[in-house]
């Protein structure tokens, strides 16, 4: 035990990462319910009219970057309308959303599974990391053809996928359980929208450039904003799909894609619910705690995820005009579920929990309870009001345990008590 503690401490010292609760600086969160000009926000009406737009703007300008152009779906190509899936218990729909501007074209491939013979179903929608074909062994899912990070052990070489990666992420996507519970599930490969690399020459970004512009402006969209935009386009399509109940679309994401899901839910109030799984730094976790990943480390390792303005706050978290409880509050009054994992210290589980607690103040303006507890619950003991939370035993991941809680939470929120 002692040896383990020493080695964890050494590791922290070597890398400069704080994993010691005692080293968390004293911090004061920016006021959620006081407007820029000092007015107290006392009701939902003022929140919506004054404070919500102020905060949205700050996250746009200083954190994720604003989406500078309105790009509509130009074409919808239905590759498969109702393929038989999972032994006839479900249908598979594969839809290519095409965007065009001048000589630019971009395709976002949406894979949708719906329970057979049901209409008007609620749907979970989220991005995936390495291609739609990775989410299930289903041999009929079309292979991604956009840029994917090389991973020779999965047969991904020259940035192109092969059959070898089919189904490799299926552990994270318990699709049959989701369908059995009466939900549909839809996904797009994040790289269809914007490849996850520090290169603003591909994906959707060039659609917004003026002549002679080669990267977004200092307050314009980084990759997380681009992904969030992609989710809103998935929503555009889903709201035209007669089999989907567009008033019950739940946006979700794991890790970097959880950050994108939160931002998408903040931007687009058509999403009826949001799930942030292990989203950590610049997702659900409070930045001012400086525990695990910090603004300094994330802007160094993944500068392209954010707008350039965020660099100003590297190691100066106390100067940020926002903190992440405000992002969570932008989801209110819609139900929100936040998860952590016991071994995912990099994402700062306590910071994720505290942030979810703080966001409750806005849910209260709408007359609902945010999180119904003040203390962090024990591992594997979910708690839920209109904000839900659990910390799962284990590592940074999204597992069938997590999914079971998402489904229970969605059932609770969508089915009014008799």
List active site positions. 255, 396
- Give me the least distance between CB of 257 and ligand GCU, in Å please: 7
- Chain position carrying tokens 């503690």: 5
Nearer to ligand GCU, 94 or 287 (CB): 287
Rounded Cα distance, 117 and 88, in Å: 10
Which residue number, 220 or 348, has a Cβ lying nearer to ligand GCU? 348
d(CA 159, CA 284): 31
Residue 281 touching ligand GCU (CB under 6 A): yes
CA-to-CA dists, residue 41 to 44, 51, 187, angstroms: 8, 7, 37
For ligand GCU, give the closer residue by CB, 92 or 256: 256
Degrees (nearest 5) of the Cα angle 390, 392, 395?
135
Residues 322 to 381: which contact ligand GCU by CB under 6 A?
A: 346
Question: Is position 280 an interface residue for ligand GCU (rule: CB under 6 A)?
Answer: yes
The rounded Cα 403 to chain-centroid distance in angstroms is 15
As measured in angstroms, the least distance from the Cβ of 183 to ligand GCU is 24
Q: Distance between CA atoms of 281 and 351, rounded to whole angstroms?
A: 9
Minimum distance, C-beta of residue 14 to ligand GCU, in the bound complex (Å): 17
Whole-number minimum distance, CB 262 to ligand GCU, in Å? 12
Report d(CA 307, CA 384) in Å as an integer.
Answer: 33
| 241/293 with CB nearer ligand GCU | 293
Comparison of 250 and 298: residue with beta carbon closer to ligand GCU = 298
Residues in the interface with ligand GCU (CB under 6 A) total 8
How far CA 62 is from CA of 153, 279, 361, 372, in Å, comes to: 38, 19, 23, 31
In the complex, the smallest distance separating the C-beta of residue 249 from ligand GCU, rounded to whole angstroms, is: 23
Question: Which of 112/262 has CB closer to ligand GCU?
Answer: 262
Residues 225-264 within binding reach of ligand GCU (CB under 6 A)? 255-256
Q: How far is the CB of 205 from ligand GCU (least distance, A)?
A: 20
Binds ligand GCU by CB under 6 A, chosen from 298, 307, 330, 384: 298
Angle, CA 184 vertex, CA 82 and CA 91 arms, to 5°? 20
Beta sheet of 90-101, edge-to-edge order = 75-85, 90-101, 104-115, 184-189, 121-128, 244-254, 273-277, 336-341, 387-392, 383-384
CA–CA distances in Å: residue 300 to residues 5, 16, 196? 28, 14, 15
Name which of 144, 173, 198, 310 is nearest 253 in CA terms.
173
Smallest gap from residue 304 Cβ to ligand GCU (A): 12
Q: Minimum CB separation from ligand GCU for residue 49, in Å? A: 33
- State how far the Cα of 118 lies from the Cα of 201, in Å rounded to an integer: 42
Choose between 237 and 305: whose C-beta lies nearer to ligand GCU: 305
Contact in structure between 187 and 136 (CB atoms under 8 Å)? no
The stretch near ligand GCU (CB under 6 A) out of 27-35, 293-301, 332-340, 382-390 is 293-301
Residue nearer to ligand GCU on the CB measure, 51 or 172 = 172
- Give the binding site for ligand GCU (CB under 6 A): 255-256, 280-281, 293, 298, 301, 346
């Amino acid at each position: 035990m002692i040896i383990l503690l020493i080695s964890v401490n050494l590791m922290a010292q070597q890398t400069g990462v704080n994993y010691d609760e005692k080293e968390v600086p004293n911090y004061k969160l920016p006021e959620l319910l006081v407007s820029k000009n000092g007015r107290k926000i006392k009701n939902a009406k003022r929140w919506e009219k004054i404070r919500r737009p102020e905060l949205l703007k700050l996250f746009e300008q200083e954190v994720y970057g604003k989406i500078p152009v309105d790009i509509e779906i130009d074409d919808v190509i239905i590759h498969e309308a109702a393929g038989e899936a999972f032994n006839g218990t479900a249908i598979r729909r594969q839809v290519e959303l095409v965007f065009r501007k001048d000589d630019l074209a971009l395709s976002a491939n949406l894979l949708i599974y719906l329970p057979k013979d049901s209409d008007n179903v609620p749907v979970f929608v989220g991005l995936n990391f390495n291609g739609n074909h990775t989410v299930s062994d289903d041999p009929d899912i079309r292979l991604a053809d956009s840029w994917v990070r090389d991973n020779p052990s999965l047969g991904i070489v020259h940035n192109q996928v092969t059959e070898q990666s089919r189904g490799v992420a299926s552990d994270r996507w318990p699709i049959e359980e989701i369908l059995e519970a009466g939900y549909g599930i839809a996904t797009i490969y994040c790289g269809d929208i914007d490849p996850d690399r520090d290169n603003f020459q591909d994906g959707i970004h060039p659609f917004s450039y003026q002549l002679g512009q080669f990267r977004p402006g200092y307050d314009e969209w980084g990759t997380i904003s681009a992904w969030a935009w992609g989710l809103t386009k998935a929503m555009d399509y889903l709201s035209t799909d007669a089999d989907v109940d567009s008033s019950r679309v739940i946006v979700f994401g794991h890790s970097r894609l959880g950050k994108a899901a939160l931002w998408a839910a903040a931007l687009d109030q058509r999403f009826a619910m949001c799930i942030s799984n292990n989203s950590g730094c610049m997702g659900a976790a409070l930045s001012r705690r400086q525990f695990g990943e910090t603004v300094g480390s994330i802007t160094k390792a993944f500068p392209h995820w954010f707008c350039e303005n965020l660099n100003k706050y590297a190691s100066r978290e106390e100067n940020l005009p926002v903190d992440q409880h405000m992002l969570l509050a932008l989801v209110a009054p819609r139900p929100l579920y936040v998860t952590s994992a016991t071994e995912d210290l990099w994402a700062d589980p306590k910071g994720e929990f505290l942030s979810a607690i703080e966001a409750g103040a806005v849910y209260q303006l709408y007359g609902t309870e945010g999180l119904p507890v003040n203390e962090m619950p024990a591992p594997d003991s979910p708690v839920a009001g209109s904000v839900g939370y659990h910390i799962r035993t284990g590592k940074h991941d999204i597992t069938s345990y997590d999914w079971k809680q998402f489904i229970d939470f969605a059932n609770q929120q969508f089915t009014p008590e008799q």
